[in-house]
Structure 1
């Protein structure tokens, strides 16, 4: 029997693949099963000074993602003997990765594309997993899709349950039980009562914060001593009646050496403009996202500390300057351009391949595996969902064949 802890990208796909191949699967999820439109109510809260975006619910942070699907860390993973070529092809077809139809490229996004091309930047439409025939172009992807038009890991969890998997929600894992130094059970709390599941295969997919907490509580060392989360700010300004706030967000991508840029609305931008008549519909803005160094740690009580290096700040400054050039070229009033505060997304690197895990994502404890963003060896500086899905497919095939 397989026990999967967490229902994000890694846990969702693993549950689907294992259950559909006749394996007995139990899925433990700390959060509730929700409607996608309510996902914004389940953002996690961290220590003061750490503004990190993640959610706890069935589907994990995929529920509030933009459904962006880009390949990341190919060369870096090759160093560990991991080639995801066939897995990428499998999951891209499975979730329907494609560039959005022109019908779903709004005026603001088109201005971004045109301005970036005019400036000689490497710009493309963002590969996404969104069903245009269902998408109402409301601009609310990060709040949870109100019409379920985008893929989330909850889709895979539902398929796993249909194939016979058992889903237990609002179940917080508190310990992994060992027998002869091998993983043999999972202890969790639900409705204030402790429960124990005996099993011979455990896969932690609880995310880059919760997974290392579980492992540290087991007494494992070297876990959670590093963490990355892609730093980002949103830069924008005034462009009357652009109506960018109702477009599909992040539908285009500029790939710089040290940063990526994508059109992304933030209502905070209008607070930088000294004009009370400026409305959300008058804002065009761009997300600037960079990779960062793995400086920081996760404590067993959930406290997260993140440190930023000079390189982190330099990369962000490069991206912000480039975003400013694009905005001005697109017609934004340059005197109104401002930025949001620094935030973080896509936490990872807390249980790394090559340090805490082997190339099959197995820990030093036999039969204890990890498959979420915590396994990534360095920050990708771009959305990691597709890479996590590919790693999950690779692990599922390994476990099925094993």
Structure 2
């Protein structure tokens, strides 16, 4: 029988969200003897619910509650109500992610020290460094089965055609760091099968070869008998007592009834839009600007990575859709080199798109011979996603709409984002380098595409050494409220050029150690 905790059990840790942060945290705490209630806004899908169909799965699992795109980015026109492409369901965006598990580089934790003052940016060093996180990166790679790492011992995934085309072009222009640390089983591992190269990684892995908290961390947590999972439970606000200590959360259950779950500790892991939104919606007379917001930084410094995309049309068929969604990753440009005309760096990630997504993203809302002539050559295409460091800007972030409400009666979030000049320079450089890589192996046409809605959402509740500069400390613990934690990518102080999931998992493992220890010492 599934574990059930009483609504008035004030000894449980309440975790809001079940993705890379929340799902991992629940399992790590459960293994240490801590009781947890996981509240997930979305449904509890199973691998049998996954379809090898891009649009069917987009409509089934995406977070499509109304959001408003604002600011200077092109989403205000191309995706006015879809600023982010994330999942609403148990497992969160680990259902949708492509599986690339890159570590941050040491300089990524010293953003301000590395670049100095940058006009228009709100840079800050993390209160932790690479050495603090390195042992947790190793544990995360082992947990997730990252192929090609010493932690997992798994061999690299096979080189598909998409990989070979991009890697060949990269080597011809002098690139040497062509990597692919993927959290996808290259052979049976951790009770799950090896990858069958189905190619629909971002629609949910039917084989369960790709790591997702849906079928790794969450089931293991439930098996301990110390965790209760409540799907379709949208958290409305976090409550506190007169001293400011968090006491529980109010949520809407699957039947539309409002419930209150008491808590000893609350951990928020709802992604970088929903997490600050929840803190802002939890404003009270004691916290008039929102919970944990004495700095005024809740919802600010939104980071998405500086992204761009392009497809190249080659002389012979490539069939990029065969094999894992993500192929070769060129990492030579990830190290900072100001001689290129910008701070920070980027990865060139060979990310395949199915034909429906290629048609939708190539020229959003557009059509014509330039589009159709390209689509006719779909089987000859390679595709790249530029993933670069995004600079924090205080005005980029999440605010609450003054009048418009969603189906739960909550203010709709407004997600504002405007490029920094550094972001635009990275985007231009990355697209130009992909063109060189593609033309080096005979591409006849390269088509630049506008970035898609953000899958990598970071910042908005950032870590800081001093309370005035951010929202949480080095453990993800709110500066203002000691039994409130942020457990997702919203705690990131900088974006780096690396995909965020591995770092979210490493931080969750580290945070679980701290919370369990503090509870044992009666500090929480």
Would you say same fold, with TM above 0.5? yes
Moved more, 189-198 or 316-325: 189-198
Is contact 1:234–1:285 with CA below 8 Å preserved after alignment? yes
Q: What does 1:2-401 align with in structure 2 at a 5 Å threshold? A: 2-36=13-47, 37=50, 40=58, 41-45=60-64, 46-48=67-69, 49=76, 50=79, 51-72=83-104, 74-77=106-109, 79-82=126-129, 83-99=132-148, 104-133=158-187, 134-154=194-214, 155-164=216-225, 165-179=227-241, 180-190=243-253, 191-219=255-283, 220=290, 221=293, 222=296, 223-239=298-314, 240-255=316-331, 256=333, 257=336, 258-266=345-353, 267-268=358-359, 269=362, 272=370, 275=373, 278-295=376-393, 296-300=396-400, 301-333=412-444, 336-343=445-452, 344-354=454-464, 355-363=470-478, 364-401=480-517
CA contact (8 A) 1:236 1:327 kept: no
Counterpart of 1:245 in 2: which secondary structure?
Answer: coil
- Return 5+ residue gaps in structure 2 as ranges: 1-11, 52-56, 70-75, 111-125, 149-153, 188-193, 284-289, 337-344, 401-411, 465-469, 519-524
Residues 1:183 and 1:122: Cα distance change in structure 2 (over 3 Å): farther
Q: Is the 8 A contact 2:147 2:157 kept in 1?
A: no
* TM score, norm. by length of structure 1: 0.94
**Offset from partner CA, 1:274-317 (integer Å, 9 cap, x none):** 63782432211211122222231212321211111221111100
Q: For 1:135 and 1:294, how far apart are their aligned partners in 2? A: 37
Report which of the two structures shows the higher radius of gyration computed on alpha carbons: 2
Per-residue CA deviation, residues 319-366 of structure 1 (Å, 9 max, x unaligned), is: 000000111112321xx2102222333111100001111112111112
Runs of 4 or more consecutive aligned structure 1 residues displaced over 3 Å after TM superposition: 73-79, 99-103, 268-274
Check conservation: 2:166, 2:382, Cα contact below 8 A: no
Q: Secondary structure at the match of 2:95?
A: helix
1:34-54 deviation per Cα after TM superposition (whole angstroms, max 9, x unaligned): 134255322224325254221
Hey, what's the Cα distance between the residues in 2 that align with 1:234 and 1:139?
19
Counterpart in 1 of 2:407? none
Distance in 2 (CA, whole Å) between partners of 1:103 and 1:157 is: 25
Larger strand proportion of the pair: 1
Alpha-carbon deviations, 1:237-283, whole Å to 9, x = none?
22232111222122321121422101112323597456378243221
Q: CA deviation at 1:233?
A: 2.4
Kept after mapping to 2: 8 A contact 1:184/1:198: yes
Q: TM-score, normalised by structure 2?
A: 0.73
Q: Please give the secondary structure, in 2, of the residue aligned with 1:359.
A: coil
Contact 1:298 1:305 in 2 (8 A): yes
Alpha-carbon distance between aligned partners in 1 of 2:259 and 2:415, rounded to the nearest angstrom: 28
Q: How many residues align?
A: 400
Shift of the 202–374 alpha-carbon distance from structure 1 to 2, 3 Å rule, reads same
Give the deviation of 1:86 after TM superposition: 1.2
